[in-house]
Amino acid sequence: MDQAYLRAHPEHLPTFLTHQRIRETPVGGGSVSAASRLTLDDGTSVFAKTWPQGDPPADFYEAEAAGLRWLAEAGAPVPELIVGLPQMLATEWLDEASPTPESAERLGRDLAALHRSGAESFGAPWPGYIGPLPMDNTPDPGPWGRWFAARRLLPFVRLSADRGVLTSDDVALLERLVAALDTHPDPEPPSRTHGDLWPGNILWSTTRAYLIDPAAQGAHRETDLAELALFGGAPYLDRILAAYQEVHPLTDGWCARVPLHQLHLLLVHAAAFGAAYRSEVTTAAKSALRAIT
């Protein structure tokens, strides 16, 4: 199996792997899927993701494949999708390099162009996942505040509470924020977004930064940018944001709204990975309330 054959017959990849016809080298970095480098007969490689044990959730890899295609349609820097099957996903192999100010600035311009390409609605026309968790992608015309509260905050508040991560006081705090968002005026139309843009979902290559592992959706552009500052922050974040602003300026007050836009991903981490994220959730919620009330 070489690249030409694989592109023409992507459905054959699982069979070749099962019968050990392809050299498979595990690689790190995946918190949900098992990741590996597959070396083909022509010496080229692809990056593959599979479910560690048993079958993945229904539509899990198809959802990511749909998101990669949708982002690529807008010219976003995403790896080329080669295989998108129910049991696995494979993309082109990209060699990593150290981030540079120049590649950071290019990323800022790339994100601005992606967001400006727009989306027909909030959500997406395919089932959603973020990390290991399902996410309601039902297309919604908005307004953004009501959609964000109902589809991106409340489900993960409830799941975190059910799993014992959030206390009743925490839930009451978040419910106050949800109520405030229901009437929060925000005229931003839906943008085409990556949807899970914490710094670990940027792959820095020799020439540019690529967006990987998307939870692609129509959403608020400030959410992508706010997530870049989470968990230590992206390298050269100031250069990314400055270049973004040159192409697609943000509205006044966006800095104060960063915790609000980070809250979705923080709640996802709390629901998926536990109480270590509780303090970050409550701190962000308090800051978000101050920003919109």
Instruction: Sketch out the chain's domains with CATH numbers.
Output: 3-92 (3.30.200.20), 101-292 (3.90.1200.10)
Q: What pLDDT score was predicted for residue 144?
A: 96
Residue 209 reports pLDDT greater than 70: yes
Residue 202 reports pLDDT greater than 80: yes
Q: What pLDDT score was predicted for residue 17?
A: 85
% of the chain with per-residue pLDDT over 90: 86
Residue 30 reports pLDDT greater than 70: no
Which residues are within 8 A (CB) of 107 and not within 5 positions of it... i.e. 6 or more apart? 77, 202, 208, 209, 240, 243
Residue 46 reports pLDDT greater than 80: yes
Q: What pLDDT score was predicted for residue 45?
A: 94
- Average the pLDDT over 3-17 and give the result: 90
Return the C-alpha torsion angle 58, 197, 232, 237, nearest 10: 170
Q: What pLDDT score was predicted for residue 29?
A: 61
Residue 109 reports pLDDT greater than 80: yes
Residue 151 reports pLDDT greater than 80: yes
Give the model confidence (pLDDT) of 63-79 as tens digits: 999 999 999 999 999 99
- Average the pLDDT over 212-239 and give the result: 98
Q: What pLDDT score was predicted for residue 228?
A: 98
Residues 285 and 24: their CA atoms lie apart, in Å, by 44
Residue 264 binned pLDDT confidence (cut-offs 50, 70, 90): very high
Residues 136 and 151: their CA atoms lie apart, in Å, by 6
Residue 172 reports pLDDT greater than 90: yes
Q: What pLDDT score was predicted for residue 192?
A: 98
Residues 138 and 121: their CA atoms lie apart, in Å, by 9
Expressed in percent and rounded to 5, the helix, strand and coil fractions of the chain are 45, 15, 40
Residue 2 reports pLDDT greater than 80: yes
Q: What pLDDT score was predicted for residue 167?
A: 97
Residue 28 reports pLDDT greater than 80: no
Residue 255 binned pLDDT confidence (cut-offs 50, 70, 90): very high
Q: Where are the beta strands (DSSP E) in the chain?
A: 23-26, 34-39, 45-50, 81-85, 88-92, 128-130, 133-135, 191-193, 202-204, 209-211, 217-219
Which has the higher per-residue pLDDT, 182 or 162? 162
Q: What is the largest CA-CA distance in the chain?
A: 60
